[in-house]
Structure 1
Amino acid sequence: MSDITGAASIRPTIARGGAFYRLVWKWHFLASLYVLPFMAMLSITGGLYLYKPQIENWLYADRFYVEAQETALPIAVQIAQLDTFVGISRMRAVIPPVSPEHTTRIEFNTPQGVRSYAWINPYTADIIAVQARDTMLMHQVKKFHGELLLGDIGTKFVELAAHWAVIMLVTGAVLWWPRGAQRLRDRAALPRPPKNQSAKRGFWRQMHLFTGMLAVVLVLPILVSGLPWTDVWGGGLNKVQEITGTQSKSLRFGGSVPKSSTDTGEPIAVEQVAAIAADQGLATPYEIRPPRKADGAYWMRSASVNRYAQSELVIDQYSGAVLARVDFTDNPGVAQAKSLGISFHQGELYGWANVAQNTVAAVLGVVLSVSGFVAWWMRRPQGSLGVPAAPDAQVSWPVAALIVTMMILLPLVGASLIAVLALDWVVFRKLGWFRGASAPHAAE
């Protein structure tokens, strides 16, 4: 593969040594043009979402907690109160109080079809608050993190940035590695505050090198663990799991959920369902989905952040018999790894240490983006993008094989790379865009 911006030659040489280094630098630069703004956004929103429980406990303390009393009203009475004063077109879930000081939370659809939450005082059935799910602050942060609040179109842009961020970090690691007389300790040194104006460029360059080195270790795993959530990569993984029979056994989103043994009788109360879950050893809090049909069954799960404790039960709505149970360890290894990766991504896998690690990664993502932009801005020639110069040379077969492998493993990288190469051949070369200076810059 030849460099997309170099001048055509009759017999391009194989890029090795300094030529290969400059070629990698150019691709790192071009990837960064697209990735860095997204990396800053993903780092900020992802860093905030790590503290979702703490932020929501602070924002919504008045709806999460009540003064404990002796006797709580039946949850059925609380639901009836909500239906009377707000209206319920579909019951989605009930989250019973996990302690005497907590409210009952109901997830439901309003008569207008708006997916909403309600918080109810379990002792008086007073409706403390009702809010549409999409207007909850942390839900908006999550949606912006995953799709820029633009739906399916936005999620493709974010996924493309995540794919190219992997390329950016890999090429950045190649650029960071010492060459020639450079020493490893110098490349890994903390940047020193600049003493004068002329030293600022070196400061920002070293800051970018230092944070980039740490980002390869801390940010890259977060990027990879988030890929199962994406449309293209995650959708492909789902297809592979279906073909190989390694998909999750969870009944949360459908599947062969058993039905109740009859379609007549008096349904058991939600409290009894929670008591059955406690007898089964499920960890709180519980998420309980009432049956929607006469022959349906209760579905419930432990909503614990501990993935190994996230068991599911299907309970006959009339007899209370446990019709099915799915434990985390019932899942195939691929499904378990996928779930644990998501847990790591959200900072839940190993408690506060995971939160602290991902917080550092989020800070690194922001600093890496800012330092990369500033270093580029100070280096670029006036009136130019300052694209690093690279020779018109072919890469070796091992490197070409690596590129093809990356295109297969990261399909959006492959699709976008083909599009860029086509645009370069048809448009960019003629317009002189993304061309480096005639003489190579020193490697930066």
Structure 2
Amino acid sequence: MTDAIVSGPAASQTTGGALYRLVWKWHFLASLFVLPFMALLAITGGIYLYKPQIENWLYADRLAVAPLEETLPIEAQIAAVEAASGITRLRGITSFDAPGRTTLIEFDDAGGTRSKAWIDPYRGEVLASTPRDQMAMQVLRKLHGELLLGDVGTKFVELAAHWAIVMFITGLYLWWPRGKRSLAKAIRPPSGKDRKWWRETHMFTGMLATVLIVPILITGLPWTDVWGGGLGYVQEKTGQTSKSLRFGGAVPGSTASEGETIPYAQVFQIARAEGLAAPYEMRPPKDDSAAFWVRSTSKIRTEQTELIVDQYTGAVLKRHDFADNPIVARTISQGISFHQGELYGWLNIAQNTVAAILGVILAVSGFVAWWMRRPAGSLGVPAAPDAALGTGMIVLVTVLMILLPLMGVSLLAALALDWLIFRRLGWFRAPGAT
């Protein structure tokens, strides 16, 4: 919801005075930054919801083969990849535990490029080998999460997410029925023509988007650098970090430091016997004293059990179930599952798809409504006289700056620039504003 919500005579019927106009101005300025990112993130995130279906279509020629009676040892399948591409580091093997499915091997090739290879487990043929970062959905994920700009892009995405939350809060305040605008009118689908229709479309879409998009924004924050890093610090200090065995930590090694390593296929058999849900991802021991790590890659978080298996005896040295995580870690994990459309099946995908569509409509309608109302040659910044904020508003702004630190820093920087430079140049100010 942008500045296009109210203008002209309508403003006098709906505004709540100087505070309303001040909120409107900051909503407008936040939207100038947020809406282009919202359109991009909504499109890329909406497409990424369908990653399994898209990859099944893109890579149909490498996912399934005609099954035979027996499969080759996994070591032989790895050797086929070694012969075809060279392996400087074996990262992991995924078994789908289904007849006719290929084996997926992730590795660093002879040139050190992280790659994925699909092997016919019956004939030992390497069907395809692709650098991971060149795969379509991986590129899309990087575009969604970091704008293909690495750490710098990640900060921009996080900043956009912070300000998007502010935009929705201020937009909700502007949408809230007041004056002659009743609740019935506020929730009514858009009507009218031209600028009125775009303005009402933006308002109506913003109302729905607030409900559907804000939870997606919040559940995406744990992935971010600043906010997510701060959350990780708090978790560490309060004993609420994940107990996952995936990245080491207090993971036991094998009981011996030499001997004959069990076949890779036996590790998958152990995972099956332990009741893990397929598919299985396994990482081999890093050295003679380390152990196998294997887990379920089920989309259902509660099924993502991990095992540490002795590489010589096959004994399960440690088991980690989802329920073993502290409550905060479990909540964050389930939030990420919701963000990716995996928490409650097709309904979650449908809900997030609608949210993505609303995000695009919100961005487009906000831009068009602004463009149609702005004076020629001007940004059309809403008129907003300096207003003394009440205690409640000051508390709200302070809390938001603490909870969204990157937004807080950028707000302080923007206020400093406005006071030192923009006011003197007349930037981002309505005509006649002081």
Instruction: Give TM-score, length-normalised by structure 1.
Output: 0.93
> 1:19 deviation in Å?
1.2
User: Counterparts of 2:77 and 2:165 in 1: how far apart (Å)?
Assistant: 49
Match of 2:223 among 229, 233, 249: 229
User: Counterparts of 1:141 and 1:287 in 2: how far apart (Å)?
Assistant: 23
Aligned to 1:51: 50
User: Counterparts of 1:392 and 1:126 in 2: how far apart (Å)?
Assistant: 72
User: Counterparts of 1:436 and 1:271 in 2: how far apart (Å)?
Assistant: 70
Amino acid in structure 2 at the alignment position of 1:30: L
Aligned to 2:402: 408
> 1:439 deviation in Å?
7.5
1:433 and 2:427 aligned:
yes
> 1:270 deviation in Å?
1.5
1:168 and 2:162 aligned:
no
Match of 1:312 among 306, 312, 319: 306
Aligned to 1:296: 290
User: Counterparts of 1:101 and 1:380 in 2: how far apart (Å)?
Assistant: 61
> 1:254 deviation in Å?
2.1
> 1:296 deviation in Å?
0.8
Match of 1:420 among 414, 424, 432: 414
Q: Deviations over 1:218-240 (max 9, x none)?
A: 00000000000000000000000
Q: Deviations over 1:154-186 (max 9, x none)?
A: 000000000000000000000111111111111
> 1:361 deviation in Å?
0.1
Q: CA RMSD in A?
A: 1.1
Amino acid in structure 2 at the alignment position of 1:271: A
User: Counterparts of 1:96 and 1:186 in 2: how far apart (Å)?
Assistant: 56
Aligned to 1:136: 135
SS in 1 for 2:401: helix
Alpha carbons 2:39, 2:360 under 8 Å: kept = yes
> 1:393 deviation in Å?
1.2
User: Counterparts of 1:175 and 1:309 in 2: how far apart (Å)?
Assistant: 44
> 1:86 deviation in Å?
1.2
Q: Deviations over 1:294-338 (max 9, x none)?
A: 111000110000000001000000100000011000000000000
Matches within 5 A, 1:222-261: 222-261=216-255
User: Counterparts of 1:213 and 1:422 in 2: how far apart (Å)?
Assistant: 32
SS in 1 for 2:394: helix
SS in 2 for 1:299: strand
Amino acid in structure 1 at the alignment position of 2:269: A
After alignment, is 392-401 or 368-377 more displaced? 392-401
Amino acid in structure 2 at the alignment position of 1:181: K
SS in 2 for 1:393: coil
Amino acid in structure 1 at the alignment position of 2:60: A
Matches within 5 A, 1:37-116: 37-116=36-115
SS in 2 for 1:20: helix
Q: Deviations over 1:64-98 (max 9, x none)?
A: 11111111101111001111221100000000133
Aligned to 2:365: 371
User: Counterparts of 2:66 and 2:197 in 1: how far apart (Å)?
Assistant: 55
Amino acid in structure 1 at the alignment position of 2:309: I
Alpha carbons 2:146, 2:153 under 8 Å: kept = yes
Match of 2:279 among 280, 285, 291: 285
* Runs of 4 or more consecutive aligned structure 1 residues displaced over 6 Å after TM superposition: none
> 1:292 deviation in Å?
1.4
Q: Deviations over 1:357-397 (max 9, x none)?
A: 00000000000000000000000001100000111111101
SS in 2 for 1:361: helix
> 1:438 deviation in Å?
2.7
1:332 and 2:333 aligned:
no
User: Counterparts of 1:267 and 1:260 in 2: how far apart (Å)?
Assistant: 10
SS in 2 for 1:394: coil
SS in 2 for 1:113: coil
Aligned to 1:208: 202
Alpha carbons 2:385, 2:433 under 8 Å: kept = no
User: Counterparts of 2:429 and 2:45 in 1: how far apart (Å)?
Assistant: 35
> 1:437 deviation in Å?
2.8
Match of 2:350 among 348, 356, 359: 356
User: Counterparts of 2:111 and 2:162 in 1: how far apart (Å)?
Assistant: 39
User: Counterparts of 1:428 and 1:205 in 2: how far apart (Å)?
Assistant: 28
Alpha carbons 2:96, 2:278 under 8 Å: kept = no
User: Counterparts of 1:381 and 1:253 in 2: how far apart (Å)?
Assistant: 56
User: Counterparts of 2:277 and 2:116 in 1: how far apart (Å)?
Assistant: 22
Aligned to 1:25: 24
1:149 and 2:118 aligned:
no
User: Counterparts of 1:351 and 1:96 in 2: how far apart (Å)?
Assistant: 23
1:272 and 2:266 aligned:
yes
Q: Deviations over 1:192-227 (max 9, x none)?
A: 3x5xxxx21000000000100001100000000000
User: Counterparts of 1:254 and 1:415 in 2: how far apart (Å)?
Assistant: 35
After alignment, is 96-105 or 239-248 more displaced? 96-105
User: Counterparts of 1:349 and 1:50 in 2: how far apart (Å)?
Assistant: 12
> 1:257 deviation in Å?
1.4
Q: What is the aligned residue count? A: 420
Unaligned 5+ segments in structure 1 are: 1-15
Aligned to 2:9: none
> 1:26 deviation in Å?
0.4
User: Counterparts of 1:81 and 1:340 in 2: how far apart (Å)?
Assistant: 38
Unaligned 5+ segments in structure 2 are: 1-14
